[in-house]
Amino acid sequence: MKLKHAILAASVALLTPVMAHAQDAEEAVEAFDAAASLAALATEQAFVFNTLLFIISGILVFWMAAGFAMLEAGFVRSKNVTMQLTKNMGLFAIAGFMYYIIGFNLMYPGDGWIFEGWFGAISPTVLEAVDVTIDEVDDAEYASVGSDFFFQLMFCATTASIVSGALAERIKLGSFLVFVVVLTGLIYPIQASWTWGEGWLDEMGFADFAGSTIVHSVGGWAALTGAIILGARKGKYGPDGKVNPIPGSNLALATLGVFILWMGWFGFNGGSELAMGTADAVANVARVMANTNAAAGGGVIAALILTKLMYGKSDLTLMLNGALGGLVAITAEPLEPGLGLATIIGAIGGIIVVVTVPLLDKLKIDDVVGAVPVHLFAGIWGTLAVVLSNGDANIGTQIVGILAIGAFAIVTSAIVWFIIKAAMGIRVSEEAEMTGLDKVELGMEAYPDFGRG
Amino acid sequence: MKLKHAILAASVALLTPVMAHAQDAEEAVEAFDAAASLAALATEQAFVFNTLLFIISGILVFWMAAGFAMLEAGFVRSKNVTMQLTKNMGLFAIAGFMYYIIGFNLMYPGDGWIFEGWFGAISPTVLEAVDVTIDEVDDAEYASVGSDFFFQLMFCATTASIVSGALAERIKLGSFLVFVVVLTGLIYPIQASWTWGEGWLDEMGFADFAGSTIVHSVGGWAALTGAIILGARKGKYGPDGKVNPIPGSNLALATLGVFILWMGWFGFNGGSELAMGTADAVANVARVMANTNAAAGGGVIAALILTKLMYGKSDLTLMLNGALGGLVAITAEPLEPGLGLATIIGAIGGIIVVVTVPLLDKLKIDDVVGAVPVHLFAGIWGTLAVVLSNGDANIGTQIVGILAIGAFAIVTSAIVWFIIKAAMGIRVSEEAEMTGLDKVELGMEAYPDFGRG
Amino acid sequence: MKLKHAILAASVALLTPVMAHAQDAEEAVEAFDAAASLAALATEQAFVFNTLLFIISGILVFWMAAGFAMLEAGFVRSKNVTMQLTKNMGLFAIAGFMYYIIGFNLMYPGDGWIFEGWFGAISPTVLEAVDVTIDEVDDAEYASVGSDFFFQLMFCATTASIVSGALAERIKLGSFLVFVVVLTGLIYPIQASWTWGEGWLDEMGFADFAGSTIVHSVGGWAALTGAIILGARKGKYGPDGKVNPIPGSNLALATLGVFILWMGWFGFNGGSELAMGTADAVANVARVMANTNAAAGGGVIAALILTKLMYGKSDLTLMLNGALGGLVAITAEPLEPGLGLATIIGAIGGIIVVVTVPLLDKLKIDDVVGAVPVHLFAGIWGTLAVVLSNGDANIGTQIVGILAIGAFAIVTSAIVWFIIKAAMGIRVSEEAEMTGLDKVELGMEAYPDFGRG
């Protein structure tokens, strides 16, 4: 923006002598118009760049939906893969619809708050008209509404993807999808409006660059609440307190899922810079990319070494979740840290995952893919870690944000889960769980040609 | 473009007083050059943006080739997976070569039509020179030839990908690839020139933004014609008229394929805006992205609900094809509709797929992956649906386009299929079909380590 | 850059008459500032475009890490898949860390050479400050340091990915990762500095656009050296000289890997144009995209036909490696050739792969995925082929570069492999090799639900 102002100022300066010689007022006006045109060009170019950033980033975050689908399909048993894929495809479609119908304006009400700073506007999303000009757009200093909607929609869907993994292998398809309707239409957008819609948490100065808390922890809280209400899979916890590991059926798919998520995260964090039309903005985006990558790598290395030390063998599934833990941790502030600090923040995210996965098992909370350690615990860490590099952030405010959003997510999720449980049931039959959800619930196996080991 | 003209006009205005004071003609000329430089910058920037749009979109549409490969590999039996992968890798390479050798100039003849509006130029593609300047490029208001070729090539390859799925599990590799040579070198480019090369259908006003008819239906017609000539797989249709379902071997792969296609479609439709250098253009691209996503989601939700109602269980494979049906349906006009209409157009696309898949089976036309319902039937719907939002489109013209292109695709495909059948045979031996094409035709299994269920 | 100079010149011209009328020096200065602002805008826009090119390309090359992981997981037996995935995830994380700690400044020392032209600077990477302005950036004519680091880091990781495939199914995890530390921290950056860091090979005029030699052959040499020192897998070569084929466990995954690599290569080669802010630069990027695609297609078609002629059946695994051979071959000069020559260069790359895969087996060098034929042999071919289209390249210099970098890579790799072998052992136990590395070394199977065939 600085450049644009400089151009405008300089252009006016240029015109001063010209105008001194202008023979009449009309000429003076024309001359002033000309000076404005350079500034106008700069403005329009920035608008194009920013919109492009949202488009590219939106596509990348869309891709994360595929990443979650592959990760989860790889981490469940082969008898439940079709169900997991069905949930992931279904949740993404529902998230898009709900965010269009209600979520986007609830999250970004502008001047349309129903309760100022707490509850936004209720209306479906309307995009800018076809062929809108720079003079007609909603915000010429920002980006097109369509691109903003497209980008933000993907964040909303991510929240739902997080939940589906934790509750795999025992929740009913319909019950899960009804929860997604509420999560993506109400729970996510309402709390997101508090910060990103310029609501009360934003006023307080809560800092969460791309959503360690607002996206990941919210998904994590909803997943945790659901996992407790739903109960563990049959056979996961023995009567003697023994934890029976239930290995995932396809680690190649799970690894692919993590690579996809890692890739998509460049859009998740990079797009959250919200601008790239000037040198400072685009250099910031680049910083975010480098730091995001460093943190993911830190998470992998930490898990690689720590599992070797703890168990004598490096553990791929924890390395995969370590990468995700590192990514979640850096998400609250991927801009300010240097590469070294980013690596450390990510590594601690990875360590948190390795340490808390067995912890959940001790509490007999059955989180099939490790969504709670990755998205909730590493998300809390990342939100606190903002103060390590961002001088504007305040540890007290960060804690307030974590607690307020957490309380809201827990309470609303629990209410919805209980209503669903009472109204339509939440858990598949024991027979379906034993035989496999694919055969019993869906009548369609994911790998019908392959014998069971 | 408006901005650029405004800049030029304003710059001239700026120079009027200056020129009044210019001491000689030379100074006046120099001054005018200076005014032009701002316009030149705007032009060049737009050229860069447009070229970048084609590059990004081309990469995304390339990615669809992988999507088709995974979708088809997931939908065939494990004994035919290597063959399906081989066809997909082979067809993409051949499409690229044929489009270079003949297709591109046949499709975009410029002033080089052999039969004006009906049959284009015959010559290999020549790119602009290395280090070409904005003054030397073919069209400074558009984008670089290299980027245009790169983008359009991927559309050509898509047509061939559509065919490979329908004819899976029984067509000979060589026969299929020979068909691809003709499809990508002649059939696709010739009919595409009628509209996109500014041929006779374009003159009539046929509207097909990104190719519901020109790409998807053409692939669909070629697939349908081939499927009829080729006949059904052994055992698919019992002598008593019973339809035996032949489940795909890997639904995780098929789901991945659909996510890939969905992602690639953002380039397919978004790139077809053909420009993004100005606020209106980039905002249009963003609209296209949002609508494309909405339509795909509509297709998924429609299939999710409809299969639950029809069969009592939601059907993942139809949800996957529902997504694709929604995407194909919105492809003819992804810009003009609002998000609500886009969702509905996509949902109807999904419904068409769910309803017509059993219809084809009734006709004993064996389309292994559902390519005809998805690409042909939803493509026709999408082409008709243009008139719902695009005031410039005319239902009569849309029908003319659908029929003319359909007739051309059917007739040329049938001729080529019959020649191939007569000259080299089209169908593998019964033994190969039973044992699997991978072992018999290729001597290489896709999953040699895994036992058969 | 030409446009920018033209703008500046023209702007000065514009100001000449204005300044003639300026009433005092201050006004003249202001007027000159105004003229500069248009040039400043052009400079800043180019900086944004270039940085964006690195960001997009970096993401694409990142994606190649997933491609290698899938390719290799598909080409090894199912009992070693977890190990291969672990190596690929681990190596990428380590490469990122090493390149940050030492590699980047070793490779791009600027004025900080320790031995001028031969050995760069030793220091960790420091990015430009947050909110850096165009006046403060390291190089306003280039791109942000963060984007450059992000992009170049991915090339470094690619080198390590190449090695992991060749040595699969028998190397110890820890020994491999220690090698990666040295490869990515020292071997790769030092030799890369000779050309891309403006060292002695660059002074000589060695031409390697995106790294046929500097990236691919270096990975290939390190792999070859390792494969020789490590020895072949048990049972690969019979005592009677018979070669026992060991088929890969998942060709769908391997094919996906190649599609991913092909996609990523658009960033690999396209990003290596290093600029896209002007018409000439972006048109060059587009040329590179089109040529890269043509070469890959040429490699596929060549392998498709040649294996049919040689063995009577087209061979998917050689078509996959043919695509990669074509891509490696065009990497040294993807800009200058026309589409026809690019196709031929790629086709020869594919032929080289088909011909040299059995050659290595004759020498009893066990390269599990064909990394040496693809990355080393096709890389040498591509580096020589530069002279076919690039008038500035010299065959003698190309050979010097190939030999010098080859010698350095062989010697340093051999030393490191021998030290690792002596210090910690390099090969897993015979029992682990027989039972599978996944069970014995990692205690975790990739596909636990699927029976063995």
Q: Quick check: C252 and B73 in contact, CB under 8 A? A: yes
All chains having 3 or more CB pairs closer than 8 angstroms to chain B: A, C
Inter-chain CB pairs, A–C, below 8 Å: 249
- Look-up of token digits 């307080």: A204
- The pair phi, psi for residue B171, each rounded to 5°, is -85, 145
Report yes or no: A304 at the C interface, CB cutoff 8 Å. yes
- The H-or-E segment that residue B34 falls in is helix B25-75
What is the Cα Rg of chain A in Å?
A: 24
User: Residue A240: its pLDDT value, please?
Assistant: 85
- Which residue from B37, B134, B447 is facing C249, i.e. has the nearest CB? B447
Amino acid C39: pLDDT? 86
Are C168 and C80 within 8 A, CB to CB? yes
| pTM exceeds cut of 0.90 | yes
The dihedral formed by the CA atoms of A225, A226, A229 and A230, expressed in degrees to the nearest 10: -150
Q: How confident is the model at residue C406 (pLDDT cuts 50, 70, 90)?
A: very high
Residue owning tokens 């037996």: C77
Give the C-alpha separation, C153 to C91, whole Å.
Answer: 12
The Cα–Cα gap between B432 and C7 comes to 68
- Using a CB-CB cut-off of 8 Å, the residues of chain C touching A313 are 441-444
In order of A209, C201, C383, the CA distances from C396 in angstroms are 53, 12, 11
| Phi then psi dihedrals of residue C295, to 5 deg | -65, -40
- Rounded to the nearest 10 degrees, what angle do helices A395-424 and A188-195 cross at? 170
Domain of B407, CATH number, reads: 1.10.3430.10
**pLDDT beyond 50 at C24:** no
Chain B residues touching residue A133 (CB < 8 angstroms) = 2, 279-280
Which of the residues B48, B255, B452 would you substitute to probe the C interface, choosing the one with the greatest number of C C-beta atoms within 10 Å? B48
Q: Would you say residue A10 lies in a domain?
A: no
> Is residue A13 assigned to a domain?
no
Q: Quote the distance between the C-alpha of residue C106 and its chain's center.
A: 17
Backbone angles phi, psi at B54, to 5 degrees: -65, -40
Inside any domain, residue A37: no
Structure tokens at B206: 């046929």
Cβ distance of C447 and A343 shorter than 8 Å: no
Burial of C135 (0-12, 13-18, 19+ CB in 10 A): exposed
Test the B interface: residue of A97, A141, A249, A428 with most B CBs within 10 Å = A97
pLDDT at residue number C1: 39
Tell me whether residue B192 is in a domain: yes
Q: In the numeric block, which tokens belong to residue B19? A: 């020129």
> CA A422 to CA A416: how far, in whole Å?
10
> DSSP string of A320-384?
HHHHHHHHHHHTT-SSSS-HHHHHHHHHHHHHHHHHHHHHHHHTT---TT-HIIIIIIHHHHHHH
Which residue of C56, C68, C71, C85 is the best one to mutate when testing the A interface, meaning the one whose CB has the most A CBs within 10 A?
C85
Q: What is the largest CA-CA distance in chain A?
A: 97
Q: Are C246 and C233 in contact (CB under 8 A)?
A: yes
Beta-carbon contacts of residue A422 (< 8 Å; ≥ 6 apart): none
pLDDT of C7 above 60: no
Interface membership of B18 toward A (CB under 8 Å):
yes
Residues of chain B with pLDDT under 70: 1-36, 452-453
Interface of C with B in 305-334 (CB under 8 A): 313-317, 319-320, 323
The whole-chain average pLDDT of chain A stands at 93
Q: Is B449 on the interface with C (CB under 8 A)?
A: yes
For residue A37, name the pLDDT band (cuts at 50, 70, 90). Answer: confident
CA distance B247 to chain C (A): 17
At residue A453 the predicted structure's pLDDT band, cuts being 50, 70 and 90, is very low
Query: Is A141 in a helix, a strand, or coil?
Result: coil
Mean pLDDT calculated for residue range A311-326:
98
User: Which residue from A151, A150, A162 is spatially nearest to A187, judged by alpha carbons?
Assistant: A162
Residue contact A56–B60, C-beta within 8 A: no
- Measured between CB atoms, which of C48, C81, C94 is closest to A252? C81
> By the CB < 8 Å criterion, does A23 face chain B?
yes
Percent of chain B with pLDDT over 90: 89
The answer to whether B90 and B173 are in contact (CB under 8 A) is yes
CB within 8 Å of A311: residues ≥ 6 apart? none
User: Which among A45, A94, A149 is the nearest to B290, CB-wise?
Assistant: A149
Residue C452: list chain A partners with CB under 8 A: 453
> How far apart are the C-alpha atoms of A48 and B46, rounded to whole Å?
10
Q: Do C278 and B444 touch (CB under 8 A)?
A: no
Question: Is C294 in Cβ contact with B450 (below 8 Å)?
Answer: no
Instruction: Tell me, yes or no, if B153 comes closer than 8 A to chain C by beta carbon.
Output: yes
Distance between CA atoms of residues B107 and B122, nearest Å? 10
Average pLDDT of chain C, as a whole number: 93
Euclidean distance between CA atoms A225 and A409, whole angstroms: 9
SS3 assignment for chain C: CHHHHHHHHHHHHHHHHHHHHCCCHHHHHHHHHHHHHHHHHHHHHHHHHHHHHHHHHHHHHHHHHHHHHHHHHHHCCHHHHHHHHHHHHHHHHHHHHHHHHHHHHHHCCCCCCCECCCECCCCCCCCCCCCCCCCCCCCCCCCCHHHHHHHHHHHHHHHHHHHHHHCCCCECHHHHHHHHHHHHHHHHHHHHHHHCCCCHHHHHCCCCCCCHHHHHHHHHHHHHHHHHHHCCCCCCECCCCCECCCCCCCHHHHHHHHHHHHHHHHHHHHHHHCCCCCHHHHHHHHHHHHHHHHHHHHHHHHHHHHHHHHHCCCCHHHHHHHHHHHHHHHCCCCCCCCHHHHHHHHHHHHHHHHHHHHHHHHCCCCCCCCHHHHHHHHHHHHHHHHHHHCCCCCHHHHHHHHHHHHHHHHHHHHHHHHHHHHHHCCECCHHHHHHCHHHHHHCCCCCCCECEC
pLDDT at B251: 98
* Residue in B68, B89, B142 to test binding to C, most C beta-carbons within 10 Å: B89
Closest approach of A250 to chain C, Cα-based (Å): 5
Comparing CB atoms, the residue among B34, B69, B131 nearest residue C259 is B69
C144, C148, C176, best to mutate vs chain A, most A CBs in 10 Å: C144
Kindly provide the ipTM of the predicted complex, given to two decimals.
Answer: 0.94
CA dist., res. C129 & res. A286, Å (int): 11
Angle CA A166–A169–A170, to nearest 5: 95
CA C108/CA C128 separation, integer angstroms: 15
B434 Rama class: left (phi>0) / alpha (psi -120 to 50) / beta:
alpha
Distance between CA C30 and CA A11 in Å, rounded?
9
| Rounded distance between C-alpha atoms, residue C404 and residue C398, angstroms | 10
| CA-closest candidate to residue C2, choices C285, C336, C270, C279 | C279
- The Cα–Cα gap between A143 and A112 comes to 20
**Residue A239's pLDDT band (cuts 50, 70, 90):** confident
pLDDT above 90 covers a percentage of chain C that reads: 89
Report yes or no on A1 lying in a domain.
no
Cα distance between residue C39 and residue C7, in whole Å: 6
> Which amino acid type is present at position B392?
D
Q: Are C208 and C386 contacting, i.e. CB atoms less than 8 angstroms apart?
A: yes
Region C25-32: what's the mean pLDDT? 50
Chains that touch C (3 or more CB pairs under 8 A): A, B
pLDDT of residue B240: 85
For chain B, the domain total comes to: 1
Mean pLDDT of A129-148: 97
Mean pLDDT of the region C101-121:
97
Domain with B242, as residue range(s), is 53-442
- C7/B37 Cβ within 8 A: yes
Q: List CB contacts (< 8 A) between A92 and chain B.
A: 297, 300
Within 8 A by CB and 6+ apart from B430, the residues are: B234
Query: Within an 8 Å CB–CB cutoff, is residue B436 touching chain C?
Result: no
- CA–chain centroid gap for C63, Å, is 12
Q: CB–CB of C263 and B31 under 8 A?
A: no
- Name the burial class of residue C119, with classes exposed (0-12), middle (13-18) and buried (19+) by CB atoms within 10 angstroms of its CB: middle
- How many CB pairs below 8 Å do chains B and C form together? 250
Q: Rg (Cα) of chain C, in Å, rounded?
A: 24
Considering only CB atoms, which chain C residues are within 8 Å of A315? 442, 444
Cβ contact C289–B55 (<8 Å): yes
Model pLDDT, residue A22: 45
- Name the residue among B252, B218, B294, B287 with its Cα closest to residue B73: B252
- Looking at the predicted structure, is the pLDDT value of residue A287 above 50? yes
Cβ-Cβ contacts under 8 Å, B78 against chain A: 449-450
By C-alpha distance, which of C377, C313, C391, C368 is closest to C348?
C377
Tell whether B28 lies on the interface with A, counting CB pairs under 8 A: no
Please name every residue paired with C243 in a beta bridge, in sequence order, or none if there are none. C237
pLDDT digits (tens, 9 = 90+) for A203-237: 999 999 999 999 999 999 999 999 999 999 999 99
The answer to whether the Cβ–Cβ distance between A146 and B250 falls below 8 Å is: no
Residue A105, H or E segment: helix A104-107
**C29 lies in some domain:** no
Is 90 exceeded by the pLDDT of residue C33? no
Express each pLDDT in A169-206 by its tens digit: 999 999 999 999 999 999 999 999 999 999 999 999 99
Interface contact A12, partner B, CB < 8 A: no
The rounded distance, in Å, linking the Cα atoms of A248 and C211 is: 38
Residue pair B226/B166 in contact by the 8 Å Cβ criterion? yes
Do A450 and B78 lie within an 8 Å CB cutoff?
yes
Alpha carbon separation from C292 to A205, B104, B267, C265 (Å, rounded)? 49, 17, 19, 8
Does the pLDDT value for residue C34 go beyond 90? no
In a domain, A2, yes or no: no
Tell me the C-alpha distance between C163 and C371, whole Å: 7
- Listed in sequence order, the residues at least 6 apart from C296 whose beta carbon sits closer than 8 Å to its beta carbon are B93, C262, C265, C323, C324, C326, C327, C330, C346
For residue A414, which amino acid is it? Answer: A
d(CA B99, CA B156): 7
C424 belongs to a structural domain: yes
* Residue C252 touches partner A, C-beta closer than 8 Å: no
Look-up of token digits 């340490």: A355
B424 touches chain C (CB under 8 A): no
Q: How far apart are CA A267 and CA B57, in angstroms?
A: 16
Q: Is C253 on the interface with A (CB under 8 A)?
A: yes
Inter-chain touch B77–A449, beta carbons under 8 Å: yes
